[in-house]
Amino acid sequence: MSFELHTHLSHKQKVTVVDRAMMVVSIIQPLATIPQVIKIWTEQSAAGVSLWTWLGFSVIGVVFLLYGIMHKLRPFILNQILWFMLDALVVISIIVYS
């Protein structure tokens, strides 16, 4: 498949395909956090969920967001904004239900 893609698409077309894939993935990847939030809120327990880990994810996400903004990487910016919002929701959930 990759050989066919390589031989039949121009460089610009390949980049466009990857750009579109990145836009989709930049939305889907942060949404994978939603089950964690739902689990904490429905069980009203954050047992086994590390506050320090999720705070670390949030801090790292801010660095990645700044990088995306500096380099004007729209999919990256979208991903990091969504990821940060969901990370913050997990952190708040841990604090509320610890």
Confidence label for 98 from pLDDT (cuts 50, 70 and 90): confident
Phi, psi of 33 (to 5 degrees): -80, -20
Terminus-to-terminus CA distance in the chain, angstroms?
49
Residue 82 lies in a domain: yes
Specify the number of domains making up the chain: 1
Residue 67 lies in a domain: yes
Residue 15 lies in a domain: no
pLDDT tens figures, 33-88: 999 999 999 999 999 999 999 999 999 989 999 999 999 988 889 889 999 999 99
The CATH number of the domain where 50 resides is what? 1.20.1280.290
DSSP for 25-55 reads HHHHHHHTTHHHHHHHHHHT--TT--HHHHH
Residue 57 lies in a domain: yes
Residue 13 lies in a domain: no
Domain enclosing residue 69, as ranges: 26-97
Residue 62 lies in a domain: yes
